[in-house]
Chain A
């Protein structure tokens, strides 16, 4: 029988929800915990869906935690189950079968869904986003036939699929990006230019400023994509990655403030008493952004979950301030980014882009915002440590542009200086 009580009810069985429950038990929380998720699988890892899993992986390798973990940890988990509403005054949530569950605290970890492609023919067979295991399995079948693939959207998901399709399956791949460059929302221009060259070297056609106007089909199955310029690109399969939309309907219906996500304060608490939000669905005030932001990343889901577990266990509210970071693997190209660099006004490249291993630093008014490291994990680690420190150790564009500058040496010296200071204090 489904439980009718939970001290902590987590709505959404993804990375954030799973991490929250594990961290609550790590903290020593002894109350009842329930996770309710719509997907049939236990919580699984999404990043491999466009990479290893799409290449050759199996479902077993995707699970974040073995199924028995939840039983062993006394975490009640309900898969393939939907919460359809909740009452913030009564602290009662209702499942789709009408049964009710009374909660102490409710955590929204409902994630996001792919933004729909709204052009004629978008519902043809062989046209799909990539978000779930089902999407990946469908795409695998298309790629196995070594088909012509058109990717709509030059973001992380689209480019990862493009690389996997070209390398692991030998498909002919075309990437269409509506904006003048790839990854305009998530990577710096120098990084994006390098990634474009990398894809072109794989034989991927990259079309910039190209928008899909229509999808042609034969007997309901996709045959081509027509651009707004009238170009016809043959396609046996189409994958679109044009962004995601936070799943906020449940919160909205409960009267909770939503904008681009469930609005929370710096402690991740929503506008309703006892209701919190974490992960892809949550819009939170970020000290690294200087305003409300919604992030779609493993780091964000994991760190917000850990932070909230600490708050719920201790009963003491505190601000979430973790430094955001991201990664993307595209074949042999490994991109790691740290910080939110969207507002940059200058950049400094460290290393040589032609060598395939370099880092781009982003600054605003001389202040370091973060940077992208391509096949330079040591730089990424050093940068992450610098951004995590209060002062950023005074790393300016002038310092970074100096001859012989390396992030590793700079970070090491900054650490030594800090240790010396704390010894003398």
Chain B
């Protein structure tokens, strides 16, 4: 099932974010939460080699679908 998403660009819809923190559990290299707003903080926005599964898991565990993945150049 695992598709390659290296090089894809991550973006977050901050308005939608409810501060669940599920993305941080899934991929803490990419996501953190602001201590004051609890909203998602994107630590890096390009998926690095080998991180595809954890980033895709973060996308899929967001309860409000606030994390998006776009192919670079697409």
Contact = CB atoms under 8 A, between A and B. Distances in A.
B1 A15 contact: no
A381 B57 contact: no
On chain B, which size bracket covers the interface? 20 to 34
B38 A302 contact: no
5 A-B pairs closest in CB distance: A377-B38, A381-B38, A378-B36, A302-B63, A22-B60
B60 A26 contact: yes
Contacts of B56: 26
10 contacts: A19-B61, A22-B60, A23-B60, A26-B61, A299-B63, A327-B18, A377-B39, A381-B35, A384-B21, A408-B35
A378 B37 contact: yes
A408 B35 CA distance: 8
A73 B59 CA distance: 14
Q: Main SS of the interface on chain A?
A: helix
Interface in A346-405: 377-378, 380-382, 384
A272 to B, nearest CB: 28
Q: Main SS of the interface on chain B?
A: loop
A47 B63 CA distance: 11
B43 interface: no
A336 B56 CA distance: 27
B20 A299 contact: yes
A377 B37 contact: yes
B64 A378 contact: no
B64 A45 contact: yes
Contacts of A294: none
B38 to A, nearest CB: 4
Given A28-B2, A336-B38, A378-B36, 11 more contacts: A19-B61, A19-B63, A22-B60, A23-B60, A45-B64, A298-B18, A302-B61, A336-B19, A381-B33, A381-B38, A382-B35
B38 A378 contact: yes
